[in-house]
Structure 1
Amino acid sequence: MGKYFGTDGFRGEANVDLTVTDAYKVGRFLGHYYGKEHKAKIVIGKDTRRSSYMFEYSLVAGLTASGADVYLLHVTPTPSVSYVVRSEGFDCGIMISASHNPYYDNGIKVINGNGYKLEAEIENKIEEYIDLNEDNIPLAKRDNIGCTVDYSIGRHRYIGYLISLATRSFKNIKVGLDCSNGSASTVAKGVFDTLGAKTYTINNEPDGTNINENCGSTHIKNLQKYVVENGLDVGFAYDGDADRCLAVDELGNIIDGDLILYLCGKYMKEKGELNNNTVVTTIMSNLGLYKAFDREGIAYEKTAVGDKYVNENMIQNSHSLGGEQSGHIIFSKHATTGDGVLTSLKIMEVILEKKMKLSELVKEVKIYPQLLVNVKVKDKKEAREDLDVQKAVEKVSAELASEGRILVRESGTEPVIRVMVEASKDEICKKYVDDVIEVLKRKQHIIE
């Protein structure tokens, strides 16, 4: 990770960690970088945060000042930016979003011309430019100054693409959608309505400050209750920029990213569509998932946490399915990034083609109890590398042996250490998580 760019772009509290000046400089650099041999064409999307408009205008000012033409998708999911970039010949795309973070945070994700997250070497150059005291990029003049184009048609083409991927009508299927008051609010209901579903939506009225607020994939209890109370067949919850999806079965049970990988991986194997008979996971995936894959004869690979790393592995090895427990699921045949609405459509495909309820499709997987606690610390690296903390982690690992595991890592997007324990019982998980947190407290790493 760089100074500003983490695993998922440049992110932080708006006008504190990420300022309008930063956004302007990102725009200035990208407009110049991609405009060396031709007039750059760059597309921008945003989520529903109040500050997204401010950053959009700052980026546009920087890009056009460097001579780039800017195409605005307005409020739209991150994967739509990726789709438009790669299908319509843009030099790069920018998504303004802090994903699942609270409304007062925001972020800038840059997507390259192939629809993937920007290469680290270019991010490093952007960081160097941001830190310069003097501007060394020339300003465009006269007819070389860039223009701005309303490009909502790009979002509509993305919606059409999603609809085209469905294999069957959703007629008479009762589907609940939690749009997290975010980007999915412009896309999800329209897709499901067009495909014939009886669509029920919650958290579909963004006001600039309610994105992710007790809703969406990070607060899924509301959708669980809604599905059961309304007798729905299935529910889907998205995050703020709609690149994640978690599901809820007809009984109100959470179907997380691991279970989605299982049901889609098994289905794709049956259809001969699982390249290399392999699913790409991260180190956060549950032991129960791997035992289920072993039983089904499906191979798997593990990467560091972050859909960026999952995607890199998939590209290098030509795998067709990968993802994270959090709901970033990548279907490489159809997309170059996690796509929440696409994921929900692929789950619907399995339900309809197999003629089974969602609960039945995953009933063979025994998920091990897992407790993940985010601890706000003064210095992530210092806390993780503390010898006493490491000894505590090693002690827990030795005691769990083959009956569980512990994982302590730095967040790529927040000032926290994540402590995760997986074991046969909830109380065992809690005991060992508490043991490690107690050492972090004693060594004064935690911000109270």
Structure 2
Amino acid sequence: MAPKFGTSGLRGLVVELTPDLVADYIRAFLAACPVGSGLFVARDLRDSSPAIADVVIETARAEGISVTDCGPVPTPALALAAMGAGAAAVMVTGSHIPADRNGLKFYVPQGEITKADEAAILAALGRTPRKGDAASLTGNKTAGAEWVARYLTGFGAAALTGLRVGVWSHSAVSRDMLSQAMRALGAEAVEVGRSDVFIAIDTEAVPQDTRKAIRHWVIGHGLDALVSTDGDGDRPLLADETGTVVPGDILGQITARQVGADTVVTPVTSNGGAELSGHFNRVVRTKVGSPFVIAGMEQAQGRVAGYEANGGFVLGFDARCPGPLPRLMTRDSLLPLVAVLVAGRAQGGISRLIAQEPLRVTLSDRIENIDTQRSQDMIAALQERADLREAFLHGLGLIAAGVDLRDGLRMNATGGEVVHLRPSGNAPELRIYVESASHESAGHLMNSARASLCAMLGLSG
């Protein structure tokens, strides 16, 4: 598919992210958005990322913008460093999507760009390159260490003492920093699954073979937990002492409570536990994507936190944990990992901590390699015709109770079950989300919904 803005950043096939196209977007970004003291640049570990980062750097310098090259570091580490310097930033990453794709994430000095900024960037495309001497280029080798130090200051050097934590490294740019963070906070870190080949990890839709490998690592190494992230390190993955992966929205609602948030902002795809828990004065629901979450947080103000079903967490106020933890208005993975590990240690195990949360089980899956237009057409038909929705839910053993059209199609059933469908914003995929009152019923509902959708699309499954 042609490169375009999705739920968070520009994404496209590597072969379509040509030097000319990347340079065009960088010139448009620099013209349309504030850059402050300059531009910070970083990248993930995809094979294609170094060359794209070079284009970003040289284009910005040619436009007269001083550049700081942070090298391979996680997205939240880049954002933290750039915001601290009052600078804009560009992260070269395709996040959790396959290696044949890549992308750009843009930051102004205050944090992630908004949807209005995206529109301004698109309107500024096609600018003539500037003529003149290139601006300066400097390096930054401390961004990753500063990201780790942020949580050492906030939680203390003994926060995870006594825990044996596995770090699933795979090809995440955050992998070495995760191990450093676990050790700095007092845990014993055990690395597993390091890969020199890029592996696309979607923390919101972890496949069964991956879950099986995680359980094997946790049990085989006698771990109290296992941590990891997606490719660019802004989405967390956490498994408990049994090797069971903890859903990202559960991580979010626990973390929001741990940091003392009064208000939480989260997309409609997150489970209903935030409302049912009674821990928050207000719960605001948004469309999917960190730009929508951050926009909702800025409107809510106060002691507000945001999170997504992928586990990414945004801290909108200065917290104490018990040390100081300043606000960071970008999606982060390390805060929810550390906060839930700390809370689980206090409860005698993460599984005990999770058992105290409202019993709302969410699952997500995706039908891959499906043309976006086909997904949109099918969802549009279900949105427009109540009889089709009722027939679809009836085939799943459910009775329709209402719909939510804020982002795709969210169908509610009389028993409290939910089936939510939406096309991916950055890949040719149809996203499927379900919510139910037990793991067994949620699993059955997901399997049935996926099979029905594949039949509707004429796919084998």
Partner of 1:190: 180
Please say if residues 218 and 225 of structure 2, whose CA atoms lie closer than 8 Å, have aligned partners that are also in contact.
yes
Q: CA deviation at 1:157?
A: 2.7
Aligned counterparts of 2:312 and 2:137: Cα–Cα separation in 1: 31
CA distance change for structure 1 residues 313 and 122 in 2, over 3 Å: closer, same or farther?
closer
Letter in 2 for 1:156: A
Mapped pair 1:274 → 2:261: yes
Match of 1:154 among 143, 154, 170: 143
Q: Which amino acid aligns with 1:326?
A: N
SS at match of 2:228: strand
State the percentage of identical aligned residues.
20
Alignment match, 2:171: 181
Report Cα offsets for 1:317-366 as digits up to 9, x if no partner.
Answer: 124322122211223234212211222122233234x3531111111332
Distance 2:297 2:372 in 1: 35
Matched, 1:235 2:226: yes
How many angstroms apart in 2 are the aligned matches of 1:14 and 1:227?
35
Pair 1:373–1:191, CA change in 2 (3 A)? closer
Q: How does 1:201-350 map to 2 (within 5 A)?
A: 201-205=191-195, 207=196, 209-212=197-200, 218=206, 219-268=210-259, 273-275=260-262, 278-287=263-272, 289-290=273-274, 292-294=276-278, 299-318=282-301, 319-333=303-317, 334-350=327-343
2:417 pairs with 1:404 = yes
For residue 378 of structure 2, the aligned residue among 380, 383, 397 is 383
Gaps of 5+ in 2: 318-326, 401-412
Counterparts of 1:392 and 1:10, CA distance in 2: 34
SS in 1 for 2:378: helix
Check 1:32–1:214 CA distance in 2 against 1; reply closer, same or farther (3 A cut): closer
Distance 2:171 2:3 in 1: 30
Q: Equivalents in 2 of 1:281, 1:369: separation in Å?
A: 14
Q: Aligned Cα RMSD in Å?
A: 3.0
Code of the residue aligned with 1:284 in structure 2: it is: T
Instruction: Tell me the equivalent position of 1:356.
Output: 348
Please state how far the C-alpha of 1:429 moved relative to its aligned partner. Answer: 4.0
Cα distance, 1:165–1:234 mapped onto 2, change above 3 Å = same
Unaligned 5+ residue runs, structure 1?
A: none
SS of residue matched to 2:71: strand
Contact 1:69 1:148 in 2 (8 A): yes
Cα shift readout 1:168-204 (whole Å, capped 9, x = no counterpart): 5133321111133121124111122222321011234
Is the 8 Å Cα contact of residues 27 and 60 (structure 1) preserved in structure 2?
no
Residue identity opposite 2:448 in structure 1: K
CA contact (8 A) 1:328 1:339 kept: yes
SS of corresponding position for 1:138? coil
1:98 to 94, 97, 116: 94
Single out whichever of 364-373 and 50-59 deviates more from structure 2.
Answer: 364-373
Q: Distance in 2 between matches of 1:432 and 1:158?
A: 40
Residue 217 and residue 86 in structure 1: after superposition, are their counterparts in 2 closer, same or farther (change >3 A)? farther
Deviation at 1:215, TM superposition (A): 9.5
Is contact 1:329–1:340 with CA below 8 Å preserved after alignment? Answer: yes
Contact 2:44 2:173 in 1 (8 A): yes
State the partner residue of 2:322.
none
> Shift in Å at residue 262 of structure 1?
3.5
Partner in structure 2 of residue 22 of structure 1: 21
The answer for the alignment partner of 1:109 in structure 2 is 105
How far did 1:89 drift?
A: 1.6
Summarize deviations over 1:189-226 as a string: whole Å, max 9, x none: 11222223210112344x3x323369998444423321
Q: TM-score, normalised by structure 1?
A: 0.84
Q: Which moved more, 1:92-101 or 1:214-223?
A: 214-223
Q: CA, structure 1 residues 250+75, in 2 after alignment: closer, same or farther (shift >3 Å)? A: same
Whether contact under 8 Å (2:97, 2:427) holds in the other structure is no
State how many pairs are aligned: 421
CA distance in 1, matches of 2:286, 2:153: 31
In structure 1, which of residues 433, 439, 444 is the aligned counterpart of residue 456 of structure 2?
439
TM-score normalized by the length of structure 2: 0.82
Question: For the residues of structure 1 that align with 2:287 and 2:316, how far apart are their CA atoms?
Answer: 19
